[in-house]
A and B are shown apart, each in its own frame.
Chain A
Amino acid sequence: MAAQRRVSGKLARMVNRHHSQPEMRDSDARPEHSPFLTISGESARLAGEWTLAHAGALERRIAAAGELQALDASGITRLDASGALLLERLLSKQHIAVADSGLAHEWQKLYETVQRSCDESPAPEPFCPPAWERMFERIGRSVMEVADATRELLSFLGLTLHRLGRTIRHPKRLRLTATVHHMEQTGLDAAPLLVLLASLVGAVMAFLGATILSDFGAELFVVDLVAFAFVREFGVLLTAILLAGRTASAFCAQIGMMKSREEIDAIRTLGLDEIELLVLPRLIALIITLPLLTFIATLAGLLGGLVVAKMSLDVPFSMFVERVQQTLTLQHYLVGMIKAPIFAVVIALIGCLEGLRVSGTAQSVGEHTTIAVVRSLTMVIVLDAFAAVYFMEIGW
């Protein structure tokens, strides 16, 4: 801390010394802190440094000045563009020509340059409607945006399916290396975190179940609870939520950066297809990895439940496995697994689409990444709710 203070002290001295250099010639004639604007009767004397460093004080003095007949600017020892602007303001308010002000010759040129540039009248402030009007405008815009986004997503789905069909007919067009690369990034790299999260959720669920079910002496049903929940819903839902946060954002940012650096345009002008080159490898990678990750998450959840059942409920390992075998059927497993590729398509498409909608700036990349995550999360949960109702109705 002490060293820092010393450095800044040194800097301040250096800055001061430097600033005061031009003043030194006049320093014997004028006190250090000369008044910038001294008014006596109807004449005024300007003095000192008319620079940005004193702009605040200068502005206050100028605003306080009344009607003046004569003005003497010969005392100005230093002028920069900010000071010149303020001087221009004072002179034009008092209708005094700069030639009559006695401004030192060396500052004349600067003053003229600034004065020339100020001639233009300021542009009118943009019209701003009242707050309630803007609120309705925003609501309207948001509704239209949701409608637009849905339409856009559907048309993007169609476009991607068309390209997918073409790639299936000509499998050589598939970019295999990129696909495997994305499988590694979205699948393998996400697995450790997913195992941790799923097993913790499984454990928490078993604890919750144990607290309630032990009142009825039905501790064994904790196994049913964890197994049903993970195989039907939580395995796939947890995976999809994790990937919506992790992968949709990554896809969007990757493609968005390419878009903002005109790489997408370069792809198009080279006669290549951005859907085939960028979207399909990501989509296919996610369709393969999301079901695999779902399977891992389900197992991890069951494992979490198993550990809690063993530790706090004294349900032996063999009984846990036996109970799972008794209650679970293939149907339950399929109910969970069928949703996995659908969620994969939703996450990959929304991520890629938002990436392609990025426009130019760094801020736009950020905005669209947020949209990609929020929208894919929403879609995943909404679709899951619909699926739950549907499977209940058909009795699976």
Chain B
Amino acid sequence: MSAATESVIRVRGLVNQFGNDRIHDQLDLDLERGEILGIVGGSGTGKSVLMRSILGLMQPTAGRIELFGHEMSDVEDMRAFMAQHAGVLFQDGALFSSLTVLENLELPLKSHRPELSVQLRRDLARSKIQLAGLSDSACAKMPSELSGGMRKRVALARALALEPELLFLDEPTAGLDPIGAAEFDRLLRTLQQALGLSVFLITHDLDTLYAICDRIAVLADRKVIATAPIAEIEQLDHAWIREYFHGPRARAARGEE
């Protein structure tokens, strides 16, 4: 790996507008190789819209998005590129409810790597499920039979099925109990380090921010107002940041009284 920081995602001058409602205005963002970038911001600041623009799920009004140093000209291009290089964990897992856990993982392998033998495909899918910290007995279950935490783990395993270098997570710990959330954080960190992933992580969970994020990007006033390690972000003088990082919940997350 080159020591110099290299942007995996580079967003410049992104504008997103719905009707008269401008969500992003000249937004810039960089995700560097091998880091976990936490995206925070109040409700309605367009965190999910930002993720959808980068994934090519929607056409931004204006702006430039570069992935791995290549400028993406249109949405189709981007989606095809992202399918090869990025895994996504949607908020509620978005597992295919008509397929078993194992089939959920086999589906992307089947369509992108048709040359693999059935046995190998099954073994690869199974190993991802185990990597995500689930026991083998989960393979035959239907998504509706899983608990919230297990569903997130299966969704993470599916996101990793095609060996992406980039991982997008939309509130991975939302809806988990604190112990489950902490375990999930640890799992994420382990996998990120082992697989060398670059992670785009949307979260509201202060514990997650403190525990695993290398840098934080704060979305407010239609832009990214700051991108820095959490210790620096805390010191910034901005109303929302003060409220967010110095409220009672933040103090608890830092372990202060």
Assess whether A81 is interfacial by the CB under 8 Å rule.
yes
The minimal Cβ–Cβ distance linking B159 to chain A, given in whole angstroms, is 12
| Residues 94-140 of B contacting A (Cβ, < 8 Å) | 97-98, 113, 115-117, 120, 123-124, 126-128, 130-131, 133, 135-137, 139-140
Assess whether B76 is interfacial by the CB under 8 Å rule.
yes
| Residues 140-161 of B contacting A (Cβ, < 8 Å) | 140, 142-144, 160
The minimal Cβ–Cβ distance linking A261 to chain B, given in whole angstroms, is 12
Contact (Cβ within 8 A) B194 A7: no
Assess whether B26 is interfacial by the CB under 8 Å rule.
no
The minimal Cβ–Cβ distance linking B178 to chain A, given in whole angstroms, is 24
Assess whether A114 is interfacial by the CB under 8 Å rule.
yes
Contact (Cβ within 8 A) B81 A14: yes
Contact (Cβ within 8 A) B162 A117: no
User: What CA separation (Å) do A172 and B136 show in the bound complex?
Assistant: 56
Contact with A along B81-98 (1 / 0, CB 8 A): 100110000000000011
Question: What is the chain A residue whose CB lies nearest that of B69?
Answer: A18
- Contact status of A81 and B97, CB under 8 A, knowing A56-B115, A110-B195: no
User: What CA separation (Å) do A106 and B194 show in the bound complex?
Assistant: 9
| Residues 109-133 of A contacting B (Cβ, < 8 Å) | 109-110, 112-114, 117-118, 120-123, 126
User: What CA separation (Å) do A123 and B136 show in the bound complex?
Assistant: 6
Looking at chain A's contact residues, the main secondary structure is helix
User: What CA separation (Å) do A121 and B84 show in the bound complex?
Assistant: 31
- Contact status of A360 and B68, CB under 8 A, knowing A81-B128, A81-B195: no
User: What CA separation (Å) do A80 and B197 show in the bound complex?
Assistant: 11
Assess whether B62 is interfacial by the CB under 8 Å rule.
no
User: What CA separation (Å) do A59 and B113 show in the bound complex?
Assistant: 13
Contact (Cβ within 8 A) B113 A56: yes
Contact with B along A80-121 (1 / 0, CB 8 A): 111001000000000000000000001001101110011011
- Contact status of A122 and B163, CB under 8 A, knowing A14-B70, A81-B195, A109-B193: no
A120: B residues at CB distance < 8 A:
130, 135-136
Contact (Cβ within 8 A) A81 B80: no
| Residues 1-29 of A contacting B (Cβ, < 8 Å) | 7-8, 10-11, 14-15, 18
Size category of the B interface is: 35 or more
- Contact status of A80 and B127, CB under 8 A, knowing A14-B81, A120-B136, A123-B137: no
Question: What is the chain B residue whose CB lies nearest that of A88?
Answer: B127
The minimal Cβ–Cβ distance linking B125 to chain A, given in whole angstroms, is 10
Question: What is the chain A residue whose CB lies nearest that of B122?
Answer: A122
B191: A residues at CB distance < 8 A:
113
Assess whether B17 is interfacial by the CB under 8 Å rule.
no
Looking at chain B's contact residues, the main secondary structure is helix
Contact (Cβ within 8 A) A361 B144: yes
Contact (Cβ within 8 A) A52 B98: no
User: What CA separation (Å) do A7 and B196 show in the bound complex?
Assistant: 29
- Contact status of A82 and B163, CB under 8 A, knowing A7-B77, A14-B81, A122-B136: yes
Question: What is the chain B residue whose CB lies nearest that of A108?
Answer: B194
User: What CA separation (Å) do A56 and B137 show in the bound complex?
Assistant: 26
Contact with B along A318-353 (1 / 0, CB 8 A): 000000000000000000000000000000000000
Partner of A81, one of B81, B131, B135: B131
B81: A residues at CB distance < 8 A:
11, 14-15
Assess whether A269 is interfacial by the CB under 8 Å rule.
no
- Contact status of A52 and B136, CB under 8 A, knowing A106-B1, A113-B194: no
User: What CA separation (Å) do A80 and B193 show in the bound complex?
Assistant: 12
Assess whether A307 is interfacial by the CB under 8 Å rule.
no
Contact (Cβ within 8 A) A114 B84: no
- Contact status of A117 and B135, CB under 8 A, knowing A7-B77, A55-B120, A56-B117: no
Assess whether B235 is interfacial by the CB under 8 Å rule.
no
A123: B residues at CB distance < 8 A:
135-137, 139-140
- Contact status of A11 and B137, CB under 8 A, knowing A51-B163, A362-B98: no
User: What CA separation (Å) do A126 and B102 show in the bound complex?
Assistant: 14
Question: What is the chain A residue whose CB lies nearest that of B74?
Answer: A7
- Contact status of A110 and B163, CB under 8 A, knowing A56-B120, A81-B128, A363-B97: no
The minimal Cβ–Cβ distance linking B68 to chain A, given in whole angstroms, is 5
Of residues A14, A118, A122, which shows the largest number of chain B Cβ atoms within 10 Å of its Cβ? A14
User: What CA separation (Å) do A52 and B160 show in the bound complex?
Assistant: 11
In the A-B complex, the 10 residue pairs with the closest CB atoms: A113-B194, A361-B97, A117-B130, A363-B98, A123-B136, A80-B163, A56-B115, A52-B163, A360-B144, A110-B194
Chain A interfacial positions (CB closer than 8 Å to B): 7-8, 10-11, 14-15, 18, 51-53, 55-56, 59, 80-82, 85, 106, 109-110, 112-114, 117-118, 120-123, 126, 359-363
17 contacts between A and B (CB under 8 A): A7-B76, A7-B77, A10-B77, A11-B77, A51-B163, A52-B113, A52-B124, A53-B113, A55-B120, A56-B115, A82-B163, A109-B193, A109-B194, A123-B136, A123-B140, A362-B97, A363-B97
**9 further contact pairs, Cβ within 8 A, besides A11-B81, A55-B120:** A56-B115, A56-B117, A109-B193, A110-B195, A113-B194, A114-B131, A120-B135, A122-B136, A360-B144
